[in-house]
Structure 1
Amino acid sequence: MLARLASASLRGLDAEPVDVEVDLSRGLPSWNLVGLPEAAVRESRDRIRASLSNSGFEFPLRRITVNLAPADRRKDGTHFDLPIAIGLLEASGQLTGRVADKGCFLIGELALDGRLNPVAGALPLVMHAKNQGFRSIVVPERNGEEVAAIRGITIYLASTLLEVVGHLSGQSPLQALCVSEPVDDACDWPHDMADIRGQHQARRALEIAAAGGHHLLMVGPPGVGKSMLAQRLPGILPPLTPEQALEVTRIYSVAQDHSRRPMSRIPPFRQPHHSASDVAIIGGGSVPRPGEISKADHGVLFLDELAEHKRAVLETLRQPLEDGSVVIARAADSLCYPARFQLIAAMNPCPCGYLGHPTKPCRCTVAQIRRYVSRVSGPLLDRFDLRIHVPPVDRDELVHGVPGEPSRDVRSRVLAARHMQYERMGEGRCNGRMTPTEVERFAKPDREGKVLLERAIEHFSLSARSYHRLLKVARTIADLEGCANLEARHVAEALQYREERM
């Protein structure tokens, strides 16, 4: 007897339809799984056998053939366990009726005792089932929070194989999951700007970076607050829209990363160690998974000790910084993941860290300093809109200074500036992502500003990219002031954030 169920295989952040065909025929008991299954799918045989037996069902002692069609595409993921097991029960007559006629989609990994374990990529699989016209879907209970925001399809949560069989047979229907809105937790970021004492220029640069989505590089001696500043950026960024929160949740679902709450409105903040490989940062593997730059989508990627990162890793960031996406190419396939992140980096000015310190002498030679600074290439430096020097905090400000301005006040100005940008260029578009055409249209300085720019180009030997990035920063400064026109003072302030001693 033949049973056929619908399933899907993950491909990047999307899913492709797969037919699970289970056939029982006469002959010596055997199990053949065909259709280019990966290791996790091949190992499902033993999980399904034990799960059926321990749930009180009879494992059919027949010649079993399981086909995952189309047969020319690789299939990966443990979510095939549940449809294969239900197909075996249907083909052996232990489950009456055809599951395909019920319009129900099934995903889930089976434990040996019949429990349903959570699966990677539950959110893209549910979205695929909805787009394919399925009326309902059964997912593991522990994937419930992840998929609760999806509308247009009835979602049932199950914790065991017995519950799924009872639901499909009509004996004990499962309760439908209530659709929930994305949690409004944008103000729950634990780090506040009020903790920063002094560092007025760095605070201002961080506010500009947040308002315009600009990339920021902070250079300074150890212990001056560079990492502390970077960790407070998500608290002043605009909250994610529901669409952005859904995209970020899809990325974390596919990556099987549970470090972030599903559908959170807080922008992601990723801080990989400087020993991370290029695959960890960009993404990849035999089955390509999202890397740190994709997990920081619509959020912040913070690279502390920038010069300590591998040169090859840093160079791979150049194209995603421009394109907002990364293409992971392998011999068998090529996948594109979003990477619209904001790069914040921090580094010391020299190996010992005290070059230019007012009291502590630098112990490095000129050759050591040049070698250290050259670890960060010119093309990568050119992609930072803001490059500032962070000096040591004044003793009086540190000991007797009052707390800094809180994040909620800074965020209000950032939101007002972002609102101006959205009205100008469309929802979700910020100054840091302006095209050259938009720069010429929306960031045209006045006559005094043009004169100042001409002098800056001659003095600093600015590239065309640096020139456009300078105008983008000036446009953001004007937006923070609520000015429609770009004036010379905005250009002058933008020039202050071009640290040319690197």
Structure 2
Amino acid sequence: MESTVNVGVAHTVAMIGLTATPVSVTASNSAGGSGFTMPQLPDYLADTTTSGIFAAWNNSDLPWPGGAVEIRFDFTPGVSGLGGCELAIAVAVARAAGLAPHDSPPAPTRMYAQLGIDGSLRATRGARPAAFTASTCGDNGVIVAAADHADVGDITGIAIRPAADLRGALRQLRSPTASAKAPTPPSEPLPKVDLHDILGLVQARHGLEIAAAGGHHMILLGAPDAGAVMLAERLPGILPPLTQHQADQVADIRSLAGQPYVGPGLTPPYSAPHHSSTMAAMVGSSTMIPRPGAISQAHNGVLFLDEAAEFRRDVLDTVLPAVAHQHLLITRYGDTIRLPARLHLVMASGMCPKDHPRRDCNCGPAARRYLHRLAGRLMDHVLIRIQLPDPPPYDELCQQSRGDSSATVRARVIAARRAAGERWSGRGADLTNQDVPVSLLRSPRFRLSATTMAPMTDRFADRTIPVRHETRLLRLAWTLADLDGTNSPCVDHVADAMRLGGFDALGGAR
């Protein structure tokens, strides 16, 4: 006698990094066996998932189907990305047991939520990119946890159907209801800081403007109260506003990180991890739903590392892939996820481990060893190196002039970026001077004359500057030319680029 097999299918999304991948879940219920299995998953992961779903099912007072229940995916999400599939697995079982209606092709209802063992739908990281993917797949609607309604309520092109628990999700499938108006997310807070607030620090303010115009990375060296934090906090305010695509990426990363949605803000993000941060806190983790770390949370914005020399060396090295390749790769249990990390890196450090003004420092070799912690491949990507002066007495500080406002500086930065974009157009999307490939800088069209390069070649000849820094200095020179409104760098731009390079600030190049 042949056993009867009932099949149920549900549609969900697996978050692989920042990429939301549509997934179909198939549940087969065979009357001739027993057990609840997921043969495509590792045993430890299958056991954890099946026990959690079984508990949620029982606590929802739903009759478990008799016989064997087997779950299969058309795309195996592995460890990363499985968390948001739990509701879809439970719904597939319900459909196989005849407790929920099947989808009407070609427009299924997609669902993305984690199940609590009490049957509730929990707020699930990544709900926003998952719902957006559902809107592009032509789905009939998407079921999310009620706690995620505010995060996804402004997504258009698809019906958002919040549910509080598993029984509520099944009711949505039997008789779909129009989605209630989503709670209004808090508006993006207005910037509370402005460059105009800073007294003095003319060279540092100018360096900040150059970093913003060219997409360069920088380090500020000086006493703890010299103003490095104050400067770094104002960098997002002079960067160009985010495009809609960039703003969506920032919102998706915030959703994956479990941070509240603050509306479609166009201000670049700002991430400032403490120097005691672990590698996982910086890079992120590849868990049931990938969690971006401090580096990826600075994507399209600013990553500020205060007291950079106090970071563990292995933690500091995790920033290198971000500045070199603009992304991070995280591998765990055979899964590899890619997280975006295109950012402005700003580091700050004292000149010695004792945190006193430079004028009082007599550390000698200890100071050199302290700064040597920053030497390495990461520093090769830091184009702007500025020594901050010691803070003057209060009466002298009050007499120093204020610079331009953030709005005025941002206008100059946007104009310089526009000039660079027109020059490098056709060679890369949103290409800044920091991203210009070496082959392009050395091409006949953009190669500088021997007269213009003379200050740099003289330093190469006497070996006071390593030749490998030529590209770094040329990128800086092009940014200085863009800010001055000239078509090509001149001798003064090349000389200023070497000054901004600040090799002596770190005791010479590595």
In structure 1, C-alpha distance between the alignment counterparts of 2:193 and 2:55, rounded to whole Å? 45
Cα distance 1:84–1:464, how it changes in 2: closer, same or farther (>3 A)? same
Matched, 1:462 2:470: no
Cα distance 1:443–1:298, how it changes in 2: closer, same or farther (>3 A)? farther
Q: Report the more deviating stretch, 376-385 or 28-37.
A: 28-37
Q: Aligned runs of 1:82-231 on 2, under 5 Å?
A: 82-98=87-103, 103-111=108-116, 115-148=120-153, 150-170=155-175, 173-175=177-179, 188-231=190-233
Q: Secondary structure at the match of 1:235?
A: helix
- The answer to whether the Cα contact below 8 Å between 1:35 and 1:72 also exists between their aligned partners in 2 is yes
Cα distance 1:29–1:330, how it changes in 2: closer, same or farther (>3 A)? closer
In structure 2, C-alpha distance between the alignment counterparts of 1:269 and 1:139, rounded to whole Å? 29
In structure 1, C-alpha distance between the alignment counterparts of 2:347 and 2:379, rounded to whole Å? 10
In structure 1, C-alpha distance between the alignment counterparts of 2:84 and 2:51, rounded to whole Å? 12
Give the structure 2 partner of residue 44 of structure 1.
52
Q: Report the more deviating stretch, 392-401 or 236-245.
A: 392-401
Give the structure 1 partner of residue 272 of structure 2.
271
- The answer to whether the Cα contact below 8 Å between 1:474 and 1:493 also exists between their aligned partners in 2 is yes
Q: Secondary structure at the match of 2:382?
A: coil
Aligned residues: 490
In structure 2, C-alpha distance between the alignment counterparts of 1:331 and 1:48, rounded to whole Å? 27
Cα distance 1:77–1:69, how it changes in 2: closer, same or farther (>3 A)? closer
Give the structure 2 partner of residue 316 of structure 1.
318
Matched, 1:60 2:61: no
Give the structure 1 partner of residue 410 of structure 2.
411
Give the structure 2 partner of residue 430 of structure 1.
432
Per the TM alignment, residue 114 of structure 1 is displaced from its structure 2 partner at its CA by 5.1
Q: Report the more deviating stretch, 58-67 or 32-41.
A: 32-41
| Residue type of the alignment partner of 1:340 | R
Per the TM alignment, residue 345 of structure 1 is displaced from its structure 2 partner at its CA by 0.3
Q: Report the more deviating stretch, 192-201 or 132-141.
A: 132-141
Give the structure 1 partner of residue 453 of structure 2.
450
Give the structure 1 partner of residue 386 of structure 2.
388
How well do the aligned residues superpose, as a CA RMSD in angstroms? 3.2
**Structure 1 residue runs without a partner (length 5+):** none
Per the TM alignment, residue 444 of structure 1 is displaced from its structure 2 partner at its CA by 4.1
- The answer to whether the Cα contact below 8 Å between 1:443 and 1:472 also exists between their aligned partners in 2 is no
In structure 2, C-alpha distance between the alignment counterparts of 1:46 and 1:194, rounded to whole Å? 60
Q: Report the more deviating stretch, 453-462 or 93-102.
A: 93-102
In structure 1, C-alpha distance between the alignment counterparts of 2:329 and 2:171, rounded to whole Å? 44
Q: Secondary structure at the match of 2:473?
A: helix
| Residue type of the alignment partner of 1:490 | H
Give the structure 1 partner of residue 11 of structure 2.
6
Deviation per CA, 1:328-358, whole angstroms, max 9, x where unpaired?
Answer: 234513222222111100001111234632x
**Structure 2 residue runs without a partner (length 5+):** 1-5
Give the structure 2 partner of residue 347 of structure 1.
349
Q: Secondary structure at the match of 1:497?
A: helix
Q: Report the more deviating stretch, 60-69 or 266-275.
A: 60-69
Give the structure 2 partner of residue 328 of structure 1.
330
In structure 2, C-alpha distance between the alignment counterparts of 1:64 and 1:79, rounded to whole Å? 24
Per the TM alignment, residue 72 of structure 1 is displaced from its structure 2 partner at its CA by 5.9
Give the structure 1 partner of residue 419 of structure 2.
420
- The answer to whether the Cα contact below 8 Å between 2:161 and 2:177 also exists between their aligned partners in 1 is no
Cα distance 1:145–1:488, how it changes in 2: closer, same or farther (>3 A)? farther
- The answer to whether the Cα contact below 8 Å between 1:198 and 1:394 also exists between their aligned partners in 2 is no
- The answer to whether the Cα contact below 8 Å between 2:84 and 2:112 also exists between their aligned partners in 1 is yes
Give the structure 1 partner of residue 3 of structure 2.
none
Matched, 1:475 2:478: yes
In structure 2, C-alpha distance between the alignment counterparts of 1:465 and 1:484, rounded to whole Å? 25
| Residue type of the alignment partner of 1:474 | A
Q: Report the more deviating stretch, 232-241 or 80-89.
A: 80-89
Per the TM alignment, residue 363 of structure 1 is displaced from its structure 2 partner at its CA by 4.2
Deviation per CA, 1:50-97, whole angstroms, max 9, x where unpaired?
Answer: 5522xxxx3235235140324865255442332233334333333345
In structure 1, C-alpha distance between the alignment counterparts of 2:312 and 2:336, rounded to whole Å? 25
Give the percent of matched residue pairs that are identical in Structure 1 and Structure 2: 31
Per the TM alignment, residue 115 of structure 1 is displaced from its structure 2 partner at its CA by 4.3
| Residue type of the alignment partner of 1:194 | H
Per the TM alignment, residue 450 of structure 1 is displaced from its structure 2 partner at its CA by 1.6
Per the TM alignment, residue 398 of structure 1 is displaced from its structure 2 partner at its CA by 1.9
